[in-house]
């Protein structure tokens, strides 16, 4: 636990939840793992289309099932005109379409909304955290193989009653890298809070700074992650497809890890789809491998075995064990949250006979979302953040260059104001909430010039935060032309 005075104290390992123990885990680069698995998949005959973004879901004529996805048209100018390089997107059809887009995936969210999968699954609204991360290269003599550190306290919490949910991670990765980051729960209330600047301030604490001194920051990035856990899992299947990984919400916020759950959901999904499509009369003759095409007359099935198998898996057991912990922090602050998490982890282990329901939003009767958690600026004072020193802390645009982010400037913005909510940035966001989008975006996409919103879509690092934390969620996040976005190498 880090204190504002520069001190720190360690919670004894015996008191920590078992889910925070990292014995036997590997410290790796997820982007490198994804590329490695891609090579393995291609070696097995799987076709992978990097540089092509899934833009929309293709439904059956009666809209009752999913048939596949369509990639985004390419070569369209900023004003919507077709350029000489125009190329129509292609339809990718399948007997089953598995959506694994990560947290807040645009196609996944459209399906969840269209088929009311949260209501069908009895789930509460999903909640999110924003993870901001840097990779540092440090002197070899300072490297500590296998070192893992998680912190609470400074800078997000200064007292046991503070309700800003979040914490940090710091790992030493071979050969001489430090992976460090801060996760800030997006259900925070203060519109003046700036997650990126909180992260920069966190690095100045002696317990963190000592790991980075003498090193060089070589990469920067950010991404939202699911924090709703067990209570926010929607119905997983629908005719023609299913939700996998963080598209469904399989992340353990207490462990601050979700890749293991995502991989397991992919394994179970593959087995379930194979069992479904390979069973029944004339199953072999109906396969695409045999016919060379999708039978347009075939009615897509709903592979419910996937959801049944997931509910019996260790993924659900793990998430159920800590199902009330996030809400405990939201209700009672960091002190009460820690006490409740300790009781859940060591004593009840998820078997408590109660559920902490998600409270309503600012208006009675409204279901709470992270957007509705933001309170008017008049209730708070602006936060004075220290200026970056260019050595340990950096201004946002300097760090943005380390993400390798690139978008073709001559294309329509993939960040669009929803027409029915156009009045929000004009008369509400700045006037009532002091323009929180100018602070929570970790890429400097949104700014107000002469009280008018300017969207710098070319800066976007695809974290999806704006689609979640905007007042009334007024931004529609869609995919840009394929290949655009951050180019992470060691994240």
Quote the CA–CA distance of 472 and 305 in Å, as a whole number.
36
What local confidence, expressed as pLDDT, does residue 362 receive?
A: 43
What local confidence, expressed as pLDDT, does residue 366 receive?
A: 47
Residues 6+ apart with CB under 8 A from 246: 100, 101, 102, 103, 105, 225, 226, 258, 262
What local confidence, expressed as pLDDT, does residue 288 receive?
A: 84
> What does pTM read for this prediction?
0.94
Tokens for 57, please give them: 């879901």
Question: What distance, in Å, lies between the first and last C-alpha atoms of the chain?
Answer: 25
Q: Which of 157, 153, 159 is nearest to 188 (CA)?
A: 157
What local confidence, expressed as pLDDT, does residue 284 receive?
A: 81
Half-sphere exposure of 425 (CA within 13 A, CB side): 23
What local confidence, expressed as pLDDT, does residue 368 receive?
A: 82
97, 240 contact by CB (below 8 A)? yes
What local confidence, expressed as pLDDT, does residue 358 receive?
A: 62
Kind and range of the H or E element at 271?
helix 259-277
List the chain residues with pLDDT less than 50.
Answer: 360-366
- pLDDT by residue (tens digit) across 314-353? 999 999 999 999 889 888 988 999 899 889 888 998 888 8
Strands 237-238 and 241-243: antiparallel
What local confidence, expressed as pLDDT, does residue 359 receive?
A: 52
What local confidence, expressed as pLDDT, does residue 13 receive?
A: 81
Quote the CA–CA distance of 326 and 232 in Å, as a whole number.
12
What local confidence, expressed as pLDDT, does residue 282 receive?
A: 79
Contacts 24+ apart (CB under 8 A), 55-58: 55/89, 55/478, 55/479, 56/107, 56/110, 57/97, 57/107, 57/110, 57/111, 58/91, 58/93
- pLDDT by residue (tens digit) across 255-270? 889 999 999 999 999 9
Helix axes 259-277, 314-321, angle to 10 degrees: 140
């Amino acid at each position: 636990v880090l204190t504002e005075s520069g001190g720190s104290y360690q919670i004894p390992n015996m008191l920590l939840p078992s889910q925070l123990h990292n014995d036997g885990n590997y410290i790796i680069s997820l982007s490198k793992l994804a590329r490695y698995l891609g090579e393995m998949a291609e070696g097995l005959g799987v076709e992978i289309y990097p540089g092509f973004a899934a833009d929309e879901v293709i439904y059956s004529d009666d809209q009752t099932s999913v048939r596949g996805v369509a990639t985004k048209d390419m070569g369209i100018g900023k004003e919507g005109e077709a350029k000489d390089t125009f190329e129509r997107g292609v339809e990718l059809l399948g007997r089953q379409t598995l959506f694994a887009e990560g947290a807040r995936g645009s196609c996944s969210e459209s399906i969840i909304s269209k088929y009311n999968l949260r209501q069908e699954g009895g789930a509460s609204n999903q909640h999110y955290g924003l993870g901001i991360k840097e990779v540092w290269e440090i002197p070899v003599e300072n490297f500590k193989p296998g070192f893992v550190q998680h912190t609470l306290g400074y800078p997000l919490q200064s007292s046991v009653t503070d309700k800003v949910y979040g914490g940090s991670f710091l790992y030493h990765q071979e050969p001489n890298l430090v992976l460090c980051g801060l996760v800030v729960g997006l259900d925070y209330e203060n519109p003046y809070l700036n997650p990126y600047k909180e992260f920069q301030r966190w690095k100045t604490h002696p317990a963190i700074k000592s790991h980075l001194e003498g090193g060089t920051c070589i990469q920067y990035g950010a991404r939202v992650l699911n924090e709703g856990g067990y209570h926010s899992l929607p119905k997983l299947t629908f005719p023609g497809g299913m939700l996998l990984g963080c598209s469904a919400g399989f992340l353990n916020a207490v462990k601050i890890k979700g890749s293991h759950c995502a991989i397991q959901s992919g394994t179970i999904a593959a087995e379930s789809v194979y069992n479904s499509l390979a069973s029944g009369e004339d199953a072999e003759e109906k396969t695409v491998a045999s016919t060379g095409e999708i039978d347009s007359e075939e009615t897509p099935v709903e592979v419910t075995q996937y959801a049944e198998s997931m509910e019996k898996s260790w993924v659900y057991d793990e998430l159920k064990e800590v199902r009330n912990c996030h809400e405990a922090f939201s209700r009672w602050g960091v002190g009460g949250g820690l006490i409740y998490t300790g009781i859940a982890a060591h004593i009840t282990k998820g078997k408590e006979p109660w559920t902490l329901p998600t409270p309503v939003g600012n208006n009675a009767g409204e279901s709470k979302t992270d957007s509705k958690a933001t309170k008017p600026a008049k209730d708070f004072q602006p936060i004075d953040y220290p200026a970056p020193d260019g050595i340990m802390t950096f201004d946002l645009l300097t760090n943005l260059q380390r993400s390798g982010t690139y978008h073709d400037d001559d294309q329509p913005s993939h960040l669009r104001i929803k027409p029915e909510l156009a009045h929000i940035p004009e008369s509400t966001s700045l006037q009532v909430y002091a323009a929180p989008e100018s602070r929570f975006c970790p890429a400097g996409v949104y700014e107000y010039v002469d009280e008018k919103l300017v969207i710098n879509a070319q800066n976007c690092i695809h974290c999806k935060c704006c689609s979640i934390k905007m007042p009334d969620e007024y931004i529609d996040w869609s995919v840009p032309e394929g290949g655009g976005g951050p180019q992470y190498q060691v994240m």
